[in-house]
Chains A and B, each alone.
Chain A
């Protein structure tokens, strides 16, 4: 049998693929964070809670209204996005002129409140959510058994990441958005409603988190802590990729997923810390992150 670093090749390929799958979640979540930070200059610590909310909305739609996975994939991001819009309009918009720290504190507080309410209502062990029938089963890839659903997660995240990147980098809407972050008064002078644009950007970033939440619902138990377990890693991804860099967060998300996957083979105990080790090294060598623009 072919061996890689003393491990059978099929096992290694399997681990690489699993790393890619987890990387897809990191990419999708850090993308939303990067968009919000890049456009609004807000460090959105509530992102994990909103991811969790996405999963809970999907669960609630099924449990109480009988609405299944596919509609939930569209409805949950809209519902949670609308909630994000409300947060932005009533609370976050008041902080744009202040230091980053205020936004961080506010969103962190919001995350604690949202998670606390969910815990009181639903407990901590989580709700069951079935994999949709069309994506049940697994494919035999020769070197491993790939559940169809995990394959779908990678495809869906990759498409979503690409679409977001295209909208922001290649469309006139994205161009206006980028211009508004550089110089809001000037863009406003062209007759564009900048505050509304910023609100919608926040809602969009939040909707991305909720989308990831729905994707995660059938794999992880839908529980109030599911976001806080991920969010710290995702922040590390954003920092490594370069704060606010969209391409950076996508590439780093997938890349770190793979590094973490390999660590789970070579030194399992360290798999929760390896990403932070990478973060330290990157920050020492390139303080602005891998894809960040030096200020």
Chain B
């Protein structure tokens, strides 16, 4: 009995070693960690869909590039300490080479620091704060999809141009809300408008925004700027309608999933900005179809498309420089990514700047009326396109130390 158990253990230990022995002969395996909100307000716009997007990129190019890739994922619960804990475990013990997505600005800022310290790669998609490529920029971060500056310029700029010259902000009380309010406020002021006031709403945990809405209404401002996201935005818009708020609502960060949840009857007419919409062109539709095939009844958001596209570019860069080198230094891998032009079906051709900012066009949309929507998720009308070279903050204005003046 005793000997047979020992033999069994020895056999299984050898079995466990076998794959390593074999992997050693080939190129080392890359390991990607999708760290995102799996259970909270941003789950639908990132969450499991982000993990799927990373996998779609790997399935598309890994075998033709000859790289072996593994994906792990975890929930940061919107808490920087939880996110940092997972990241350290991944980078120190589990051999993860790159962290993906991180939907939540506060967690993103923390992860950018961790990836720099450990010289690994951070491919940010869900995090919004433009600080990731400004004061908090690192040689290890690529900020792919969008940022608060892009939203401010596109949505804020359009509303000021249309006569919305006085603003009241309803801001989620953490890094993201503060950055968004700051960037939009700057735009409003430079365009000759003014910010008359604002409230900071506790995040997460606020479900009733009516009190804040009434404060906004009594401020006399023309525009109510919603510097929040996910379920916060959904509840704000829903309750603004209920309380007959007459100000124009500026959804400064509204995702496809939010519009879906609100329903077109409530969401119609909202003006919003995105850098990817599934029904934009043949390329975006092709990716959306691949996504929906694996995750039925939903369409990808720009955050998920960003995870796909950034993974794709990372894999191409690592193949170009050699996986072993890419694993040895995250900064070197990111430098390689910056040296190569980007090209994918979701964002088209583009590039990554020295400060880590990925450059592509941004789009201003209006949510359709229920009568205009012909198919499921047929939600947006394209109003305007900001070309890639104008969509993001000029390189010399961010204050990123990597940019030499």
Binding site for B on A (CB under 8 A): 8, 10-11, 14-15, 18-19, 21-22, 116, 119, 123-128, 130-131, 138, 144-145, 147, 149-150, 219-221, 223, 225-226, 229-230, 261, 264-265, 268-273
Q: In the bound complex, how far is the Cα of B258 from the Cα of A229, in angstroms? A: 19
Specify which chain B residues have a CB less than 8 angstroms from the CB of A219 in the assembled complex.
208, 238-239, 242
Q: Which chain B positions have C-beta within 8 A of A138?
A: 242-244
State A119–B44 Cα separation when bound (angstroms). Answer: 10
**What are 13 A-B interface contacts by the 8 Å CB criterion?**
A11-B214, A11-B215, A116-B39, A119-B43, A124-B39, A124-B230, A125-B257, A125-B258, A126-B234, A130-B265, A221-B238, A221-B261, A272-B202
Asked if B189 is at the interface of the complex by the 8 Å CB criterion, the answer is no
Structural contact, B211 and A261, CB atoms closer than 8 A = yes
Q: Which of B45, B206, B218, B298 contacts A11 (CB 8 A)?
A: B218
Whether A264 lies near B212 (C-beta < 8 A) is yes
Asked whether B266 is an interface residue with its Cβ less than 8 Å from the other chain, the reply is: yes
A147-B242, A230-B207, A268-B212 given; name 13 further pairs at CB < 8 Å: A123-B43, A124-B43, A125-B43, A125-B230, A126-B234, A131-B242, A220-B238, A221-B262, A268-B173, A269-B200, A271-B201, A272-B205, A272-B206
Q: Which residues of B contact A265 (CB under 8 A)?
A: 211, 215
- In Å, the complex CA distance between A288 and B298 comes to 50
Bound CA–CA A15/B217 (angstroms): 13
Collect the chain A residues with CB atoms within 8 Å of residue B212's CB: 264, 268
Question: Out of A14, A119, A220, A268, which one reaches B214, CB within 8 Å?
Answer: A14
Interface digits, B222-264 against A, CB 8 Å rule (1 contact, 0 not)? Answer: 0000000011001100110011100000000000011011110
Q: Are B44 and A220 in contact (CB under 8 A)?
A: no
Is B47 located at the chain interface by the 8 A CB criterion? yes
Q: Cβ of A271: which chain B residues have Cβ within 8 Å of it?
A: 201-202, 206, 211
| Residue pair B200, A221 in contact (C-beta under 8 Å) | no
Contacts A126-B231, A230-B207, A271-B202; is A147 near B244 (CB within 8 Å)? yes
Indicate if the CB atoms of B243 and A147 lie closer than 8 Å.
Answer: yes
B residues within 8 A CB of A150?
Answer: 210, 242
- Across the interface, do B235 and A124 meet the contact criterion of CB distance under 8 Å? no
A145 touches B244 (CB 8 A): yes
Tell me whether A125 and B44 are in contact in the complex, defined as CB-CB below 8 angstroms, given that A18-B211, A144-B214 are known contacts.
Answer: yes
Q: Residue on A with the closest CB to B297?
A: A123
Chain A nearest CB, measured from B225 CB (Å): 15
* A178 nearest CB across to chain B (Å): 34
Bound Cα distance from A123 to B301, whole angstroms? 14
**Chain B residues within 8 Å of A125, by CB:** 41, 43-45, 230-231, 234, 257-258, 260-261
Chain A: minimal CB distance from B386 (Å): 27
In Å, the complex CA distance between A19 and B210 comes to 10
Known: A125-B44, A125-B258, A147-B242. A119 touches B39 (CB 8 A): yes
A175 to chain B minimum Cβ distance, whole angstroms, is: 38
Flag if B242 contacts A128 (CB, 8 Å). no
Q: Is B193 at the interface (CB under 8 A from chain A)?
A: no
Q: Which residue of A lies closest to B208 (CB)?
A: A22
Docked Cα-Cα span, A15 to B373, in Å, equals: 38
Closest to B206 in A: A272
Contact A229 to B204, CB < 8 A, known contacts A11-B218, A125-B231, A221-B234 = yes
Interface string of B167-190 (1 = CB under 8 A from A): 000000100000000000000000
Chain B residues with CB below 8 A from A273, complex form: 202
With both beta carbons as reference points, the residue of chain B lying nearest to A230 in the complex is identified as: B207
Q: How far is the CA of A149 from the CA of B260 in the complex (A)?
A: 23
Expressed in whole angstroms, the Cα–Cα distance for A232 and B67 within the complex equals 48
- Expressed in whole angstroms, the Cα–Cα distance for A116 and B205 within the complex equals 18
B244 to chain A, nearest CB (A): 5
Is the C-beta of B199 less than 8 angstroms from some C-beta in chain A? Answer: yes
Q: Are B211 and A264 in contact (CB under 8 A)?
A: yes
Given contacts A123-B43, A126-B261, A147-B243, contact A229 B235 (CB under 8 A): no
List of A residues within 8 angstroms of B199 by Cβ: 264, 268
Query: How far is it, in angstroms, between the C-alpha of A116 and the C-alpha of B40 when the chains are bound?
Result: 11
Partner of A226, one of B206, B207, B218, B265: B207
Partner of B231, one of A11, A128, A221: A221
In chain B, what residue has the closest Cβ to A223?
A: B231
- For B199, B207, B257, the residue with the greatest tally of chain A CB atoms inside 10 Å of its CB is B207
> How far apart are the CA atoms of A198 and B40 in the complex, in Å?
35
Interface centre among B231, B239, B260 (most CB of A within 10 A): B231
B-side contacts of A264, CB under 8 Å: 199, 211-212, 215
Q: A123-B44, A124-B41, A147-B242 are in contact. Are A18 and B210 (CB under 8 A)?
A: yes
Q: Contact: B45 with A8, CB < 8 Å?
A: no
- Residues of chain A within 8 A of B244, CB atoms compared: 138, 145, 147
Q: Which 6 A-B pairs have the closest CB atoms?
A: A272-B202, A124-B43, A128-B263, A264-B211, A125-B261, A125-B44
Q: Which of A22, A128, A230, A272 contacts B262 (CB 8 A)?
A: A128
Cβ contact within 8 Å between B239 and A127 = no
**Which chain B residues in 1-48 approach chain A with CB under 8 Å?**
39-45, 47
Q: In whole angstroms, how far apart are the Cα atoms of A131 and B218 in the complex?
A: 25
Alpha-carbon distance between A264 and B260 when the two chains are bound, in angstroms:
29
User: Would you give the shortest CB distance from A9 to chain B, in whole angstroms?
Assistant: 11
Q: Determine the distance from Cα of A116 to Cα of B43 in the docked complex, in whole angstroms.
A: 12
B257 touches A269 (CB 8 A): no
Interface mask (B335-348 → A, CB under 8 Å = 1, otherwise 0): 00000000000000
B contact residues around A119 at 8 Å (CB):
39, 43
List residues 252-304 of chain B with CB under 8 A from any CB of chain A. 257-258, 260-263, 265-266, 298
The complex places the Cα of A126 from the Cα of B257 at a distance, in Å, of 9
CA distance A265 to B260 in the complex (A): 32
Contact with A124, one of B218, B231, B242 (Cβ below 8 angstroms): B231
Please report the C-alpha to C-alpha distance between residue A91 and residue B261 in the assembled complex, in whole angstroms.
Answer: 35
Residues in B whose Cβ lies below 8 Å from that of A144: 214
Instruction: Write out the residue numbers on chain B whose beta carbons fall within 8 Å of the beta carbon of A272.
Output: 202, 205-206
Q: With the chains together, A219 CA to B260 CA distance in Å?
A: 17
What CA separation (Å) do A107 and B229 show in the bound complex?
31
A271 to chain B, nearest CB (A): 6
Residues 69-123 of B contacting A (Cβ, < 8 Å): none
